[in-house]
Structure 1
């Protein structure tokens, strides 16, 4: 199971704004903001999803577009 993830680092590594990241990867922008501010932590499934986005964002984008 993935451990702690740095959501902001993942997003910034893709050079996306919060709104762009949220739209591209189907994450509510409010949720993304709370994760980045540390108000909330992603659950296990979200951590796995974010790890996949970090490692291979193109596959995630292609899968969501299908």
Structure 2
């Protein structure tokens, strides 16, 4: 069996038009931030092991994580502000 390389680029041309690839979406969002898996997980309060499993294609993210990732992609600064505010009130 070939080794799994979670940071290997995904060939978007190999998937059928209109299909959704959760692994590709997760990687795209993380890569857009320029962060490693560990740094992304720490920054956005995610489980690093779960993130690795998703990017490796061994598990699928739930709907809540997909929605959270979309917000991170669209407005990362808003997410960071909200997380910072939450840390101050705890």
Runs (5+) with no aligned partner, structure 1: none
TM-score of the pair, normalised by structure 1: 0.89
Paired residues in the alignment total 64
Root mean square deviation of aligned Cα: 1.2
Choose between structure 1 and 2: higher helix proportion: 1
Q: CA deviation at 1:4?
A: 4.9
TM-score w.r.t. the length of structure 2 is 0.67
Q: Deviations over 1:32-58 (max 9, x none)?
A: 101111111111111100110011100
Higher relative contact order (CA 8 A, sep 6+): 1
- The structure with the larger Rg is 2
The gaps in structure 2 that reach 5 residues or longer are: 1-19, 86-90
